[in-house]
Structure 1
Amino acid sequence: MVKDRQILPLFQEYLSIFPAVGLLGPRQVGKTTLVKNLILEKESLYLDLEKASDRAKLVDAELFLKAHADKTVILDEIQLMPELFAELRSLIDEQREPGRFILLGSASPDLIRKSADSLAGRIGYLELTPFYLGEIDSDELQKLWIRGGFPLSFLAKSDRESQLWRQNFIKTYLERDLAQIGLSTDPRLVERFWMMLANAQGGIWNAESFAKALGITRPTVNRYLEFLEGSFMVRVLAPFHQNIKKRLVKSPKVFIRDTGLLHALTGVTTMDSLINQLLVGPSWEGFVIQQIIATLREEYEYYFYRTHQGAECDLLLVRNGVVKTAIEIKNTLSPKLSKGMQISMEDTEAEKGVIICRIEDGYPLSEKVRAMGLKEFLRGL
């Protein structure tokens, strides 16, 4: 059984503080379901901006919203009417009280920028991710890894049903959603790009090589990446390089955020088919990174570390410029402390190190480094 979404208490807290709360996340992640099940202090009014009938109510937005000033107004798919942000600003300034508006946004690279221009100091943002380990039964890690965390994929009655849902999600995203968020281009070209990213999961970003393979310009391929990142489909993990004088890799690493979508894009249907592919290591790495960031959220900044000499660390948890934890991620049952990990910890002055692997019970590998399973690591947080 799936537990209540862990973001709920924080969401309720934001509603008690901010006049507007923005809940962002990919389509089909459960934003609308979560909001419709909220216990609100005031009566609510829900508007789905994908519906022409609801958009028509906002032709004179000021008049309509003033008539419902006593309600919490929920605006779903707000990126479809960004012109509302300026209107919301003036309404909030006239009647500044918490919990007036809830804005749900599926995907738009400039959604936060547009609203930040208009609603600075008036809105608090949260991101709703697909299910992560803290929200499911403890024995379902493998199911979450192979199916991903989108509710309708994870909760499907069979692997086949889950696979079909993900394939259709990708098709809909390419044929409809991209155009709605402002990327007007050939969906087949973006599909090829997305599949190339999937097959290079966790690789160092090289715009030039992607542009050559696709027959498009470097600015265009960077724009594609920006849209996929802004719509929560990919994670661009920045390199760590502060106060380090070695020659470092300075391009980011790119991951498909949800491993269920990663597997659908690469033709992986079962765990048996995954473990026999080279993709299994990068898939596990991306899965672990997503679980950690979904759990810790904004408590840390997140980076990777790599030198041109080969020293590497998959994930750094950084707070106030200090590397609190250096993490190496290995798809193995017998982890070893590598020289590259040791050098990375010395270079970054990490307080401690962890090798996250496929074991259940952790044990020390050195004075500062411990081997752990993912569930044990997350419990310790």
Structure 2
Amino acid sequence: MYINRSMESTIKRIEKGFKAILVTGPRQVGKSTILKHIHGNRKYVTFDDPVLLSETKSEPGLFFRNNKPPIILDEVQYISELFPYIKIECDKTEEKGQISLTGSQQYHLMKNVSESLAGRVGILELSGLSLREIQGIHFDKPFIPDEAYISAREKEFKIQNNVWELIHRGGYPALADDAVDWQTFFSSYIQTYIDRDINALGNVKDKLKFTQFLTALAARTGQMLNYSAVASQIDVSVSTVKEWLSLLEASGIVYIMQPYSNSALNRAIKTPKIYFRDTGLVCYLTKYQTADTAMNGALAGALFETFAVSEILKSFSNAGKDYRMNVTYYRGKDKLRRKENGERTERETEIDLLIEQNDIIYPVEIKMSANPKLAMTNAFSLLDQIPGKKRGIGVILCMYESVLWLKDDIVALPVEYI
């Protein structure tokens, strides 16, 4: 059963302005499915086919003589030899949207696109199913929590009663079918991912060690990156950890979130954080076999934060918006003093997310709690030090089931408001 994707309208809009469109994203998130749904009568060719791949590599100049646009070309990262000929086809006509491309590996792909198709291709990033898509919600704005967003989102708001079931199962479209076994799906996914994507991107000889690396990283989702700790745990060099991590990022398995940087915040820690793109994959790698064990396990808070961050990033990419420079986090050596259980404590200041739009910074805390408190936002006032920037509405994303204003400029929102 096809689930309507939020990106459908974005693809149609982008195709009106470019001769080709490229949809990137991890394996099995539905890239070719969405293009075939939009262009039902368009010829479809996949370079997952080894015979076709071999023929095209040997005679790339003949490909478009046998396969005329409009056309969908799937997994084009395998066939860099074809990109100059895609450019030639684009330059033959003024018609837009004639060539639709997909690729699971951004690492090599972007180099080929920038060299051959600059100005000719619109690039979009598709992730797994969003909560909006699962709920059948048509709201398509990126999560920028000003009053206009909150008011508009309220009109299509639904509480998700089994949110931990979704966190545990993950967002891969195949798993929307309850008949698909969760364990078998992820076991096969990891095997295929290592055999195909990782071997295509880099020469990883020790598959067992790489699987251990994946597991070690999954246990650190939502945390600041510590290369040395991961290297020590799995007994490889720091340089190997960095190389393998770049492969995971390039193939869409993880996202490396950069810290916010501004000279006014001179005590900021400049270490990035790591988030897995899919919480179901994290649960599989960390051996949380049920939603209940995930909800009550040591990683529960990190899983909830990873889920919320992933949903926010999807809201941007599905709308065709780049989030990489607009969504950051802050952690600083500024000491935040507060009372806990009657005792005064000091800890480093952290704001889970900073979402910037038009020189307005919206601070966001993500809490696996149904009891949001104003004290959770004490660090937000740090943003008032930044010249030329304005602090927008502060948000606590949580398990509370309705909108709760805690101050004129601070609101608690259910995670379903993303």
Give the TM-score normalised by the residue count of structure 1: 0.91
Match for residue 92 of structure 1? 90
- The alpha carbon displacement at 1:352 in A equals 1.4
- The alpha carbon displacement at 1:347 in A equals 4.4
> With CA pairs under 8 Å and 6+ residues apart, which has the higher RCO, 1 or 2?
2
Find the partner of 2:392 among 345, 351, 375. Answer: 351
| AA partner of residue 346 (structure 1) | D
Aligned residues: 371
- Listed as ranges, the matches of 1:139-288 within 5 Å are 139=160, 141-157=163-179, 161-288=181-308
- The alpha carbon displacement at 1:299 in A equals 6.3
| AA partner of residue 65 (structure 1) | F
Match for residue 60 of structure 1? 59
8 Å contact kept, 2:279–2:306:
yes
8 Å contact kept, 1:108–1:181:
no
8 Å contact kept, 1:72–1:100:
yes
| AA partner of residue 356 (structure 1) | L
Pairing 1:38–2:38 present: yes
Superposition misfits of 4+ residues, deviation over 6 angstroms: none
1:311 partner SS: strand
Superposed CA offset, 1:214-233 (max 9, x none)? 33332221111111011110
Match for residue 142 of structure 2? none
8 Å contact kept, 1:234–1:254:
yes
Find the partner of 1:306 among 318, 331, 341. Answer: 331
8 Å contact kept, 2:60–2:81:
no
Superposed CA offset, 1:125-169 (max 9, x none)? 1111100011012435333211110011232337xx123212221
Find the partner of 2:107 among 100, 106, 109. Answer: 109
Superposed CA offset, 1:310-347 (max 9, x none)? 11111111124431x11000001112223643344434
8 Å contact kept, 1:147–1:163:
no
- The alpha carbon displacement at 1:31 in A equals 1.3
Find the partner of 1:121 among 113, 119, 122. Answer: 119
- The alpha carbon displacement at 1:8 in A equals 0.6
Identity of aligned residues (%): 30
- The alpha carbon displacement at 1:371 in A equals 1.0
Change in Cα spacing, 1:83 to 1:61, as seen in structure 2 (3 Å) is closer
Unmatched 5+ stretches in structure 2:
136-157, 335-347
Q: For residues 23 and 73 of structure 2, what CA distance do their matches in structure 1 show?
A: 10
Find the partner of 1:336 among 370, 373, 376. Answer: 373
RMSD over aligned CA atoms reads: 2.1
8 Å contact kept, 1:78–1:103:
yes
Q: For residues 194 and 371 of structure 1, what CA distance do their matches in structure 2 show?
A: 34
Match for residue 402 of structure 2? 361
- The alpha carbon displacement at 1:112 in A equals 1.3
8 Å contact kept, 1:132–1:294:
yes
| AA partner of residue 98 (structure 1) | K
| AA partner of residue 265 (structure 1) | L
Q: For residues 288 and 195 of structure 2, what CA distance do their matches in structure 1 show?
A: 22
8 Å contact kept, 1:311–1:339:
no
- Listed as ranges, the matches of 1:5-44 within 5 Å are 5-39=5-39, 44=42
8 Å contact kept, 2:36–2:42:
no
Change in Cα spacing, 1:174 to 1:79, as seen in structure 2 (3 Å) is same
Change in Cα spacing, 1:321 to 1:209, as seen in structure 2 (3 Å) is farther
Find the partner of 2:354 among 308, 311, 316. Answer: 316
Q: For residues 344 and 362 of structure 1, what CA distance do their matches in structure 2 show?
A: 24
